[in-house]
Structure 1
Amino acid sequence: MSAAHEGAAGRAARRRYATLGRSVALFRAFLVEQTDPDRFYGLLAEDSVRQVAGYTALAGRTVLDVGGGPGYFAAAFRAAGAHYVGLDPDVGDFSAAGESVAGMLRGSGTALPVRTAGVDVAFSSNVLEHVPTPERMLDEMVRVTRPGGLLFVSFTPWLSPWGGHETAPWHYLGGDRARRRYQRRTGRPPKNRYRETLFPTSIGATLRWARGCAGVEVLDALPRYHPWWGRWVIRLPGIREVVAWNFLLVLRRTGTEPAGAAEKTELTGGRVAM
């Protein structure tokens, strides 16, 4: 099978998977994130692994999860045959999903304790908005990924309806104001504190970083939870910051190309507005 045919087959498979039913299921699980985290994060982990597998084989590959937190992703990646390594400032969080902390790394996403070109897949789910210097974390993920390897990064843009996390939608009136309102209503500060543990990250800035990074090639840029026919919103600067909800960037580390590597999709090649 030719590389071009493999690329077309991969795109078709991703479209069949990214259905409206899948989007609805994710949204329904999201509604109970606080009361039933096992349901939401377990579903999200399975969904994420399936997404990654649409771009590269996982069996036998080393996956670094930057900001792994509770170990839901560990179980899902290992079930797919990957060698999973989770990194988090507090590895004790892995126990929330009943996962062992053995083999986990404690460290910062902006200074990864991993050798250069040491992993096949660098993965991060909903972490970038919690980093004060997101470009530095992205640079580190590029550094540790081998040539031909995959980077899979998603985050919630600040102007998304959930951009303020538990303080949303009041973050639209300002992060500090939303934080004060939350504390008045609950008697405690939010976990995600504006400009302390939550930062106004944007799709536009992340795409500009990707365009200017000499070490990567953009494979996909899409709204992570939308059905495939909703991906066009990423082409609309400004609007995408609100309606994308959660942004996904899939990159290939440039260099010697291994067999079976992912192919570029129709949203690359300069057609995504930066």
Structure 2
Amino acid sequence: MPEAAAGQEGRTLPPDRETPDWEELGRLLSRGYIDSGFIGGVTRVPVEDVVRDMLSEARADEQVAELRRTAAAAGVDADKARILEVGSGCGMTVLRGRTAHGLDIHGIEPSMGEYSSTLDVCRRLIDHYGLPADAVQDATGEAIPFPDASFDIVYSSNVLEHVGDPAAVLDEALRVLKPGGLLLVVVPNYGSWWEGHYGILWLPRMPAGLAKLYVRLFGRDPSYVDTLNLIDRPWFDRWLGRHPGRLEVLDWGWSVFEQRLRTLGFGDWAALSVAKRIVTFVHRSGLLEPAIWLARRLHWETPIIFAARKR
């Protein structure tokens, strides 16, 4: 059952509604993850933990807080903005954003995504919370079903690596963004030392063929590599080159990454507990400052937190 977030704003549920049947929703998600081979073949995180994280109100609240913080730094008031989340999964960020934080936030999630059960769970939660049926629409990021200049913020977290055409998704995000609006994309950095789906150390900028051999050494399913877009800083630079003068890049996520390295201030969601143990070892071995020095120069920040203002 999802934990309640400490100090959450507003209320979790409309006053006339009972708590959702989290156990039934969890079973539905579990079947999707197990049937897909993700549990065991890719991650060694127990399915119960994966499902708990997917349905976690606390995790959704963390994402809302990060969205607000980044938007404020860019001069955009998230509380007054119209927001689109590209890739809503089970819809928890949209649900919490609306019911607990008062945000005007909308989402899209495809019905034929990596785990089709996520949109089913999302629809059940939307109905349970009494939200409009179109709060999260069945759509892909390559074909966002909104007019040009519809949103003040377009947000996506840990989705771009899974889509069919990541450049087309960002093109669409730019299209529906208003001038002066904020594009905020969180995505794993395959120019770094960490791969969060497998929960293993990674070799920066490793090509897919070598990556498949590498994950075999850990006894993991190499075919999952073929489903990932291996995105890094140079990839974003190439995409930006297709839109000269249209975006002002505000941040790549370095300050957040450095703060997390120095303070171990990141959650234990999914395989991040393994990452935290690795960073703890770096602290204890006295290698923190050299690691930060190298990471800054070689762009090892992970995830990439790409923030840009549309001109």
TM-score scaled by structure 2?
0.58
- Aligned pair in 2 of structure 1 residues 229, 44: CA closer, same or farther (>3 Å)? closer
More helix by share: 2
1:85 matched to 2:138? The reply is no
Letter of the 1:157 partner, please give it.
N
Deviations 1:190-216 (A, max 9, x none): 8x81122x1211122213423552321
Q: Does 1:121 align with 2:178?
A: no
Q: CA deviation at 1:62?
A: 1.4
The corresponding residue for 1:58 is 78
Q: Tell me if the contact between 1:215 and 1:253 (Cα under 8 Å) persists in the aligned partners.
A: yes
- Show the counterpart of 1:146: 178
Deviations 1:237-260 (A, max 9, x none): 5x213xx12011111111xxxxxx
- Residue 94 of structure 2 aligns to a residue whose secondary structure is helix
Deviations 1:18-76 (A, max 9, x none): xxxxxxxxxxxx99963741277335324323324423112242111001112221134
Report percent identity of matched pairs: 25
Distance 1:159 1:235, change over 3 A: closer
CA RMSD of aligned residues (A): 3.6
Structure 2 unaligned spans of 5+? 1-44, 128-132, 263-291
| Deviation at residue 109 of structure 1 after TM alignment | 1.1
1:1-274 correspondence runs (5 A): 34=50, 36-37=52-53, 38=56, 41-54=59-72, 55=74, 56-78=76-98, 79-90=100-111, 93=118, 95=121, 99-100=125-126, 102-103=133-134, 104-163=136-195, 165-166=197-198, 168-169=200-201, 174-178=210-214, 180=216, 184=219, 189=221, 193-196=224-227, 198-210=228-240, 212-213=242-243, 214-223=245-254, 225-227=256-258, 236=296, 239-241=298-300, 244-254=301-311
Give the alignment's TM-score, normalised by structure 1: 0.65
Alignment gaps of 5+ in structure 1: 1-29, 255-274
Structure-1 separation of matches of 2:150 and 2:257: 32
In the alignment, the residues of structure 2 paired with residue 33 and residue 107 of structure 1 have an alpha-carbon distance, to the nearest angstrom, of 27
Aligned residues: 216
